[in-house]
Structure 1
Amino acid sequence: MTYETKRHEVHRRKPGRFWYYSAITGFVLTFLLLCYLDEAKPILDPVEHILNLLEQNYAEQWSKKYTAETHLAGTNYGLVEWTRDKFEEYGWKTTIDTYDVYMSHPESNSLNLLDSDGQVVYSASLKEDEISEDPSTRGNDTVPTFLSYAANGNVTAQYVYANYGRMEDFALLKKLGVDVNDKIVIVRYGKIFRGLNVKFAQDEGAVGVLIYSDPGDDLGLTPANGYKQYPHGPARQDSSIQRGSVQFLGGVGAAPGDPTTPGYASKGDVPRVDPHASIGKIPVLPISYREVTPILEKLNDKGPMGPRDWMGELVGFNYNIGPSDGNLLNMYSNQTFNITPIWNVYAEIEGKRKDEVIIIGNHRDAWIKGGAGDPNSGSAALIEVARALGDLKKAGYQFKRTIILQSFDGEEYGLLGSTEFGEYQAQDLKRKVIAYFNMDAAVEGRHLRLGASPILNRLLRKVASWVPYPDGRGLSLYDHFLEESGDRISNLGSGSDYTVFLEHLGIPSADIGFRPGRGDGIYHYHSNYDSFWWMSNFGDKGFVFHNAAAKYLSLLALELSRKKLLDFSVEDYTCALVSYFSQIEAKIPHEWLQLPISHHTARKLRKSKDKNDRFVLDASQSVFGSYQFRKESLDHRSKHHKHQVQHKHRHTPTLGKILDKTRHSLQELSSRAALFDDETTLLQEQYDKRKQLHVFDRIWLLIKIANRNLVLKYFERNFLYHRGLHKRPWFKHIVFASGRYTGYAGQTWPGIGEAVEDGDIKRTVKWLDIAKHAAKRAHFALDYYG
């Protein structure tokens, strides 16, 4: 082809390109104009509508329905259909989503105390008392006491008392010369997740674990202090037994969800692995404090005494550690392990912006027939939320953003339903979901407790001020929260369905509920006594706190949906980052600060940055992200070239310098965030007065708002790391994770903190650098759209 021919071809293509770009420009302008024209004024006050509607309180009716039948995970499909039907009744589009997961169900168990000749001197029934006043405790349809995922086995051995069964408790046993190898370990509930009791005991060579609830953890509400037991008073029923899962959850090497499909969904014909990275290999039984007392009494005067904080309040037990001398325990546990279907139920009201989604979730499965607090207070409130928001839609209100309600199955076993859903829909969720609000046990007491990603804190406080606190004093929920909790919103760990959203996917999450506190009776967690009768007479008379929970969650979803700009506080988030970092910084040994960092380590860190940038982009799939990555890559290459040129002239960096740079990056981010929030507030004010603007100014305002919403929507994703935490790759968030040795309790800046705990200097440097780079990436996003 000659030059003239080529030139002719070029000219021939130009009209095509012209019409192509014209079409794109026309589409964009049309879209913006439609956005402008679509801002119709609401025909009613949606906040007032919800509060008025929920003055009619049906929570008691829904609670009675959910607690009338057993609904262990993977059972009672009728309750699945009933939940779906209620959502549809209130105008929601519904889906039932099935996963096939590895689960265990109880068959039989026994526990016998033997003398030195092997004769049985005491047998524990491992059952809870039937109570005439409480119908849920009577009959043959209650769930047996068991701990899911406990291994099958029949073991006979000496036993020892190990306090809460924490890492530090086992370390003290070693120091005291008490060997738990080939012994059964007896621990009390508290401080850490029960699955980690099993992991730590198994790692020390124990052959079985027995777990009980000690009245010493009941804050003085005990018969010894004059309080009557349930059902005649607020004290714990002494036959109460806490069921539960002994999956390792957030422990080292473990992950939530189906233990045979770690990191991917149990849907369809998928490969399955050995589950024992996340579940134990020894039998475990739960027991009441009444039935464990005769066993522990045999340890009196045997072995050393633990420190004062090992002492509970069992009458007749001196809290000697043992081991038992002259007595053995025979423990037998038998469960069936199968791949079993579980069912999540979803309900959706589609908003104008389909790619901006708010989720409210709770699980439906319970360890017992009742489960009035956990989870059915949340289930009842979720139906009320569906009724309130559904009625608002019916009244003609148009939601700006899509709202989804989710009733998960299998949470109690190890966050199965939510985790499998999160893994299956990971890309779609990371691209669309703005926030996740979790209820779980919405009402266990009368005291509001909040845990959240700090970006949601301002929203949580604001909406709490709109809802009356139901004690007749004229206070709002926020007034009460300020009075009782000092305005403290805690960080999140694990133990409920928010885990996959925040710690795996980087979606801002909150956990909301009324918990026991001053003046409340003992909540019988995972026991037959968590019943409708207990809730009606002790937990929430009149179901007024259920009603408050429904109002609060409905208004949170509404407020986050109706504002043009996302109602997030980046300043709250970044201030929390600096505060968390200061706490971690104080734990770094002073002698580490002058240690040099090799150039080889520095090169490895640079390579890791690029890979993680790509992962963060994939997590958001946003326009600003792709530009951000290109710019940062260019900046990185130019800086890298400059460093190569000056390589001979620069000094070797130290850990202290990296620490200073990380702190400085976080402080700069926090300062920029305060200005960013002020600018966001100004944009919202301009939007509220948009009718005073010229039409082109309005369109330009909408462009700026759309860009800013992108930054807000994906801001949390900046703090994901593609490889996950050390030996816990499922946990991708670098700021929030469950504690590897606690399970439930949250840990902030876990990568740095764990490296310091382990005395690993190289890993500390790595995680400091990851934190610094995440802060710079987030700072860039704020600058580019500020």
Structure 2
Amino acid sequence: MDQARTTISKIFNGEPHSYTRFNLTQNMEGDNSQVEMKLSSDMDEEVGENGVGGHLNHNNKRKPYMVQNFGRTPKNLCFMAAATFLIFIIGYLIGYLVHRNKELAPVCASSSAFISEDSVPVHETGAAPIMDWDDVKKLLAQKFTAAKLDPVLSDFSMPNHRAGSSGDEFLGNKVLEKFKSYSMKTWTDEHFVKVQDPPASAYNRFTFKNDPEEHPSGFLSYSATGRVTGAVLYAYYGRESDLRSLRDKNVDMNGRVMLVRAGKISFAEKVANAAKMNASAVLIYPDPTDYSIGGDTPLFGHVHMGSGDPYTPGFPSFNHTQFPPVQSSGLPKILAQTITQNMGMNILRKLGGQNLPNGWDSFNKLGDENDSIVVEVNNVLTEKKIYNIFGVIKGFVDADRYVVIGAQRDAWGPGFAASTVGTSVLVELARSISDMMKHDGFKLRRSIVFASWSAGEYGSVGATEWLEGYLTSLGMKAYTYINLDGIVTGRKEFKVAGSPLMNSLIKNALNEVKINDVTLYSQFGRSNWESNVLEPLKLDNAAYPFLAVSGIPSVSFRFTSGNSDYQYFGTMLDTRERLNSVTASQVPQLAESAGRFAGHIALKLVHDHLLWMDLTKYDNIIRTQVAQINSKVKGVQRMQPKLLPSDLTVQWLISASGSYSRASRTLTADITNSDLEDIEMCRVINDRIMSVERNFLSPYVSPRENPFRHILLGSGPHTLKGLANHLDALKTGNPEADATQFRNQFALATWTIQGSANSLAGDIWSLDNEI
């Protein structure tokens, strides 16, 4: 009403109203476009050829427009009275609408949701009516059930859907049609990728001593090809610690063909570790201690020490793109081949040489120079067209900010645990949340993108190519990636791996999601939930490139059988029957709990005004690793003073660590002390929070040489862990250690941490210059 009275008062008192007029003049050559902006009163008109308004032309004798056209006749007075009444009504309506909009203005929730992980945030009505969180949880539990999930599991089961095959394309179309039926915005992403497949007309083979030649049907994609002859060396699981044990026994590993067990670490890591020791080839077999899959079951996998298409490192595999012919530094230069359990045990029984190191639970010898073997790998490089399928449920406030939920669609064989369960949960989550919006009035603040990836078995190829294709956009707008691959592989334990920023979200979900009427936290968290539930995010996990390549906070989780891995991954035996055998036929029920865990995290991120992210977790990680580096530097300076002179100080790194700590505390204080009744303030704060993960990506390394650029959770010499390992090498006088290179990496890591602190601090005048 106040605004209406003011408006009417101005009309009757003749107070001028300004208007803006744009005069657009554009040169057809495109280089002299102008915008001329002129302001004048509503009561003034430009007169004369000089274009000067009447109120500025003192010689103008013309009467105002109203006076010229309306005399003081009864008829004109009636017109004026009617116009005045109409203006009054319009002003009243404007005032009412303005007052109403103020009541409905978006308001940020209490900052307690961000500061305390145990408190429940109070949500107020925003631009989109926001449902109470308890009601959201109830709706998800009603919509997403084991009974509804069970037929979907059967619907997406297929015996053969290897990446790029007709089965893979069929499933992709089925996912796309499901998304469309939920009224989601859908699209596809096409890539032409290079992968290695086994030879179609020849064999991969090996011959041990005088035994008959063997032709294993399994294979490892991206192995080097060719033929080598060497002496067999048993290397347990092929871990770095296992190879150190061999070195301690003075075993010569140069040119040897290493025989290693499957399990513990990825195939790619086993081959990379062997290559560092100058081995000529690696044979990998499933030992009966770890696998009860039968003596003749082949294994399938890949040995690219990275993710995505290794022949387009750092950029996407789109068609008709003119990229240089380069290869990923993670491609091995030695042969790698899987063999069956019977083949491996036959070799082990005939080995001579030294006894095994202590702790290696086996009965055989290590092998000597007389245990000769010939290995030949003839894999062929092929190009495949793959499709990623997407559907989005758009938010009502920050639609350009989103959570991504994804699952791989392909598998070496049936792949029931590897891909079918995850794809089914993906589709059912999309249906459930869409249904909540259509029929129950639920509104998302931000968007949720559902993604079905192809070529996951070749090393998260589909997902990584999408990341590389849209890296600059995703880094600014994707809040979180939630991985659904392999979420049910047992029922004894529940494990979660992901960004430390997400710890509060994880704990909250554990406390609110139930299995058999008991919360996941009560059943699996027990006395110390972090030690019992959390595990490191591994390189072969599809969530890893989102975190370490793109700087997007990511989470992956699974029901598991305990210490032993699901032994049917990478085989043709990954069927529903086998998964039932390790879950007591509880697959739908376990998938329901896993899906609700994913849905809880996603909905929390798109429902609340402020993001639940734990900045202090990275503070603790940085402090711990900086303390280790400081201790190791002092040790090298004592042992090798010529390599690291005393003038090298860790003070800069310590100061950068302190800057991050202060910036995180300052942001928490800003949230507590600021007036957050402005949705733009929420957006600014959320963007500051999301800059943390992205700014831990080192800007000083090449994506081709070191794709996992995250200095805290990535891999390579640029990481804080890499610096610590380099110091260990310098301390022992390793000839491969380089003090100059260390000092360079040390300086760059220091400034990366400081840069992250600066971004977290926000405005340029708030930066910490103490370094």
Bigger shift: residues 91-100 or 664-673: 664-673
- Structure 2 counterparts to residues 752-767 of structure 1, below 5 A: 752-759=723-730, 760-767=738-745
Work out whether 1:451 is the aligned partner of 2:497.
yes
The Cα of 1:583 is off from its aligned counterpart by: 3.9
Counting only pairs closer than 5 Å after superposition, residues 54-65 of structure 1 correspond to structure 2 as 54-65=144-155
Amino acid across the alignment from 2:339: I
Please give the per-residue CA displacement for 1:496-536, whole angstroms capped at 9, x wherever unaligned: 22233211221111122222217x89532212222111112
For the 8 Å contact 1:380–1:546, the answer to whether it is kept is no
- Which one has a larger percent helix, Structure 1 or Structure 2? 1
Identify the match of residue 139 of structure 2 among 25, 41, 49. Answer: 49
Asked if the contact 1:304–1:320 (Cα under 8 Å) also holds between the matched residues in 2, the reply is yes
Residues 491 and 295 of structure 1, relative CA distance in 2, 3 Å threshold: closer
Give the aligned residue type for 1:81: N
TM-score by length of 2: 0.74
Q: Is the 8 A contact 1:101 1:339 kept in 2?
A: yes
Give the aligned partner of residue 506 of structure 1. 551
2:416 match: secondary structure: coil
Change beyond 3 A, Cα 1:674–1:526: same
Name the counterpart of 2:28.
Answer: none
Decide which of 160, 168, 178 is 2:233's aligned counterpart.
160
Match of 1:387 in 2: 431
Aligned pair in 2 of structure 1 residues 206, 43: CA closer, same or farther (>3 Å)? closer
Aligned match for 1:298, one of 336, 345, 350: 350
Amino acid at match of 2:37: G
| Residue identity in the other structure for 1:295 | I
Please give the per-residue CA displacement for 1:19-71, whole angstroms capped at 9, x wherever unaligned.
9xxxxxxxxx9999875661424389222100111235333333334332211
Could you list the runs of 5+ residues in structure 2 that have no partner in the other structure? Answer: 1-33, 41-98, 108-125, 731-737, 767-771
Of the candidates 663, 668, 671, which is equivalent to residue 677 of structure 1?
Answer: 668
Match in the other structure for 2:484: 439
* Contact 1:361/1:497, CA 8 A, preserved across alignment: no
2:700/2:748 contact within 8 Å kept? no
User: Does the aligned pair in 1 maintain the 2:204–2:379 contact within 8 Å?
Assistant: no
Cα drift, residue 549 of structure 1: 0.8
Contact 2:206 / 2:215 at 8 angstroms: preserved in 1? no
Q: Percent identity?
A: 24
Paired position in structure 1 for 2:418: 374
Summarize deviations over 1:220-269 as a string: whole Å, max 9, x none: xxxxxxxxxxxxxxx554444432101232xxxxxx22121111111022
Partner of 2:83: none
Separation of aligned partners in 1, 2:642 and 2:36: 58
The separation in 2 between residues aligned to 1:540 and 1:561, in whole angstroms, is 35
Q: Distance in 2 between matches of 1:718 and 1:597?
A: 34
Asked whether the equivalents of residues 159 and 185 of structure 1 are also in contact (C-alpha less than 8 Å), the reply is yes
Residues matched between the structures, number: 635
Amino acid at match of 1:755: H
1:663 counterpart = 2:654: yes
Could you tell me how far apart the structure 2 residues matched to 1:217 and 1:153 are? Answer: 30
1:743-758 aligned at under 5 Å gives the runs 749-758=720-729
State the distance in 2 between where 1:18 and 1:770 align. 53
- Amino acid of the structure 2 residue aligned with 1:42: M
Measured at CA, do residues 453 and 517 of structure 1 come closer, stay the same or move farther in structure 2, by a change above 3 Å? same
Structure 1 counterpart of 2:304, one-letter code: Q
Partner of 2:158: 68
Q: Which has the larger radius of gyration?
A: 2
Structure 2 contact 164–386 (Cα < 8 Å) conserved: yes
Relative to structure 1, the CA distance from residue 366 to residue 335 in structure 2 (aligned partners, 3 Å threshold; closer, same or farther) is: same
Q: Check if 1:308 corresponds to 2:285.
A: no
User: Does the 8 Å CA contact 2:460/2:542 hold for their aligned counterparts?
Assistant: yes
For the pair 1:713 / 2:690, whether they are aligned, the reply is yes
Corresponding residue of 1:192 = 265
Residues 655/63 of structure 1: CA separation in 2 closer, same or farther (3 Å cut) = farther
Q: Letter of the aligned partner of 2:151 in structure 1?
A: Q
**Map of 1:232 onto structure 2:** none
Counterpart of 1:109, as a letter, is Y
Which residue in 2 is equivalent to 1:480?
523
Report the TM-score, using the length of structure 1 for normalisation: 0.73
Does residue 109 of structure 1 match 2:203?
yes
Q: Which residue of 1 aligns with 2:44?
A: none
Q: 1:213 aligns with which of 262, 282, 286?
A: 286
- Tell me how far apart the structure 2 counterparts of residues 521 and 427 of structure 1 sit (CA, whole Å): 36
Q: Is the 8 A contact 2:710 2:719 kept in 1?
A: no
Counterparts of 2:668 and 2:503, CA distance in 1: 14
Q: Secondary structure at the match of 1:209?
A: strand
Contact 1:243 1:527 survives alignment (8 Å): yes
CA contact (8 A) 1:178 1:323 kept: no
Cα distance in 2 for residues equivalent to 1:719 and 1:678: 22
TM superposition shift of 1:341:
1.0
- Match 1:344 to one of 383, 388, 392: 388
Q: Which residue of 1 aligns with 2:123?
A: none
Question: Is the 1:364–1:375 contact (alpha carbons within 8 Å) kept by the matching residues of 2?
Answer: yes
Task: Give SS of 1:375's match.
Answer: helix
* Deviation for aligned residue 1:654: 2.9
Q: Distance in 2 between matches of 1:101 and 1:752?
A: 34
Q: Deviations over 1:642-695 (max 9, x none)?
A: xxxxxxxxxx99323xx2342243245325524533553676xx76xxxxxxxx
Determine the structure 1 residue equivalent to 2:23: none
Cα deviations by residue, 1:270-306 (Å, 9 ceiling, x for unpaired): 335254743335443212323311221111xx21123
- Equivalent position of 1:247 in the other structure: 304
Q: Is the contact made by 1:444 and 1:523 (CA closer than 8 Å) also made in structure 2?
A: no
Alignment of 1:732-743 (within 5 A): 732-738=709-715
How far the C-alpha of 1:398 sits from its partner, in A, is: 1.9
Select the residue among 261, 279, 284 that pairs with 2:336.
284
Moved more, 671-680 or 529-538: 671-680
Would you say 1:145 and 2:218 are equivalent positions?
A: yes
Q: CA deviation at 1:594?
A: 11
2: CA distance, partners of 1:551 / 1:682: 35
**Partner Cα separation in structure 2 for residue 682 and residue 479 of structure 1:** 35
Give the conservation status (yes or no) of the 8 Å contact 1:358–1:404: yes
1:539 aligns with 2:586: no
Separation in structure 2 between the aligned mates of residue 588 and residue 101 of structure 1, nearest angstrom: 44
Matched to 1:475, the amino acid is V
Q: State the Cα deviation string for residues 540-564 of structure 1 (Å, max 9, x = none).
A: 6232111111111111111000111
Q: CA–CA distance in 1 between the matches of 2:278 and 2:614?
A: 48
Partner of 1:136 in structure 2? none
- Aligned 8 A contact 2:218 2:300 in 1: yes
Deviation at 1:382, TM superposition (A): 1.3
Aligned residue number for residue 18 of structure 2 = none
Distance 1:782 1:55, change over 3 A: same
Shift of 1:423: 0.8
Alpha-carbon distance between aligned partners in 2 of 1:553 and 1:587, rounded to the nearest angstrom: 40
SS at match of 2:599: helix
1:415 aligns with 2:460: yes
| Structure 2: distance between partners of 1:17 and 1:504 | 50
Q: Does 1:365 align with 2:410?
A: yes
| 2:456 maps to amino acid | E
Superposition deviation, residue 710 in structure 1: 2.0
Q: Secondary structure at the match of 2:540?
A: coil
CA–CA separation in structure 1 for the residues paired with 2:160 and 2:646: 62
Say whether the 8 Å CA contact 2:421–2:487 is kept in structure 1. yes
